[in-house]
Amino acid sequence: MRSINIAAGQLGPIARNETRTEVVARLSALMREAQSAGCDLIIYPELALTTFFPRWYMEDQAEIDCFFEREMPGPQTRPLFDLAGELGIGFCLGYAELALEDGRLHRYNSSILVDKSGRIVAKYRKVHLPGHAEHEPWRKFQHLEKRYFEPGAGFGVVDAFGGVIGMAICNDRRWSETYRVMGLQGVEVVLIGYNTPVHNPPAPEHDELSLFHNQLVMQAGAYQNGTWVVGVAKAGIEEGVDQIGGSCIIAPSGEVAAACTTRGDEIARACCDLDLCNSYKRTTFNFDVHRQPHAYRLIVERKGRHLMADGTAVPSA
């Protein structure tokens, strides 16, 4: 049996004035707990090193950049990498990435996969940035990911931990394309961290369905691609904003194999049998036999109902 013993390492809220060192201590405690439970890998949430700062409108770039990491590991995060190597456990960590590329600074909402020796083996940059780019004072709180980050290039997979691993972040999980693009590369475990407010200012009528939608999209993505999905929240009331928990590990059947039940620092774990994926990948979802790409062209030709992928208007019929 090929299997990975995985821990979903949910975090409770992180206050704005909490230091990286304090957060790393919390991450380290969860890592020790996961390792004691026999886990090979622990998944932390999106932007796991700080409070969820896109909830505030800020104009001072220096203030914004305080939430970003210029190197990974850096002085404050290295202890987590060292501990991973010492304990022999891998981790997946979300953080705000400040990268110098082509002589210019770029900012991404990123996650990395670190192996049991403490070495980074994959990096992912969030593709589906939710929210808005301009200050919208009518909202109780902002969601300025479109302002503070640029979107990543796409979804890859990596051979690690004896399986095929992919990453996605938060809003990515609501988009079926996320799972499919990785499914087409044979993904067996999709790792997803998130920060999801219970309240969605543009559509408050969805608030009571937040946990249902969270689970629905990950269950469908798992089943339709024959993959494990691990969803990990930063949960609880953070700087006055209530964020859902619902961290869980979902089997390729779409069934929930393990779930957190608090909204604080907590681990849920499952032994993920990677061969279960084949039960779906070789039957109902044998893509090589059953997919019909000739019928899917609109998915890449159009951005939406009104815009083509290149941003021009959809021609009227």
User: What residue ranges bind its own copies (CB under 8 A)?
Assistant: 127-128, 130, 151-155, 171, 174-177, 179-181, 184-186, 200, 202-203, 205-206, 209, 212-213, 216-217, 219-220, 223-224, 253-255, 279-307, 309
Nearer to its own copies, 1 or 289 (CB): 289
Residue 126 annotated among the catalytic residues of the structure: yes
Nearer to its own copies, 96 or 251 (CB): 251
Nearer to its own copies, 36 or 283 (CB): 283
Nearest-angstrom CA–CA distance, 113 and 237: 27
The region that residue 246 occupies, defined by phi over 0 for left and psi between -120 and 50 for alpha, beta otherwise, is left
Residue 264 CB, nearest approach to its own copies (Å):
27
Residue 39 annotated among the catalytic residues of the structure: no
- 61-70: long-range contacts, CB 8 A cutoff, minimum separation 24: 64/148, 65/98, 67/96, 68/96, 68/97, 68/98, 68/107, 69/95, 69/96, 69/97, 69/98, 70/98
Residue 275 CB, nearest approach to its own copies (Å):
12
Residue 121 CB, nearest approach to its own copies (Å):
15
Catalytic residue among 39, 92, 170, 277: 170
Nearer to its own copies, 15 or 296 (CB): 296
Residue 46 annotated among the catalytic residues of the structure: yes
Catalytic residue among 92, 126, 260, 266: 126
Residue 35 CB, nearest approach to its own copies (Å):
32
Nearest-angstrom CA–CA distance, 132 and 143: 6
Catalytic residue among 39, 46, 248, 272: 46
CA 234 to chain centre: 11
Whether 161 contacts 41, CB under 8 Å: yes
Residue 184 CB, nearest approach to its own copies (Å):
5
CA dist 1 → 22, 138, 188, 271 (Å): 38, 54, 14, 11
Nearer to its own copies, 104 or 297 (CB): 297
- Residues contacting 117, CB < 8 A, separation 6+: 85
CA dist 267 → 95, 204, 263 (Å): 19, 30, 11
Beta-bridge partners for 190: 166, 229
3 state DSSP class of 158: strand
Annotated catalytic residues are: 46, 126, 170
